[in-house]
Amino acid sequence: METNAYNQKLNRYVLNDQIIYTGFASFKDAEECAQKKGGVLVEVAFKDGNDNPQITQEAGLIEKELHYYVDAGEEYKFIHSSDPGFRKYADELQKIKSRERQDSPDERYFANFEIENAEDPIVVIKNDHFESVTSRERSKYLKHAKVYELGVSLPKS
């Protein structure tokens, strides 16, 4: 089983004459994998709410040195756990949830622990307001989202 820098399982896809791995924790993680395996970096798109990858260059991940990006229109913003703004949104989300549930200080601490340890959490913002928390994998199945991931391509043997 292949894993990324955080020991999370990588996704493996077979496309025509190549094998594509996605799910890297960072751009650097993907670069290291490509060097180690003798592969090349590629950008992979998941569109129309499915898990069928397409090789593309639409989001410019390689040029921008990004490992993940979601385009769901102007009203939505997806903030990945590796993004600089994630901590701010996660903290605000936990404060809102704690107030709604009227948690004790101990419960607030554990609630914050939950979001930090969720599987590859992503905060979804709609029109500058919190919408939800999802995972990187589930973001592929949102109706109008175009999910772009950095991948490593290897020749199919």
> Per residue in 9-30, pLDDT tens?
899 999 888 999 999 989 999 9
Domain ranges of the chain: 11-155
Number of residues in the chain? 157
- pLDDT given at position 117: 45
Q: Give CA–CA dist 90/117, Å, rounded.
A: 12
User: Of 98 and 44, which is predicted with more confidence?
Assistant: 44
pTM comes to 0.77
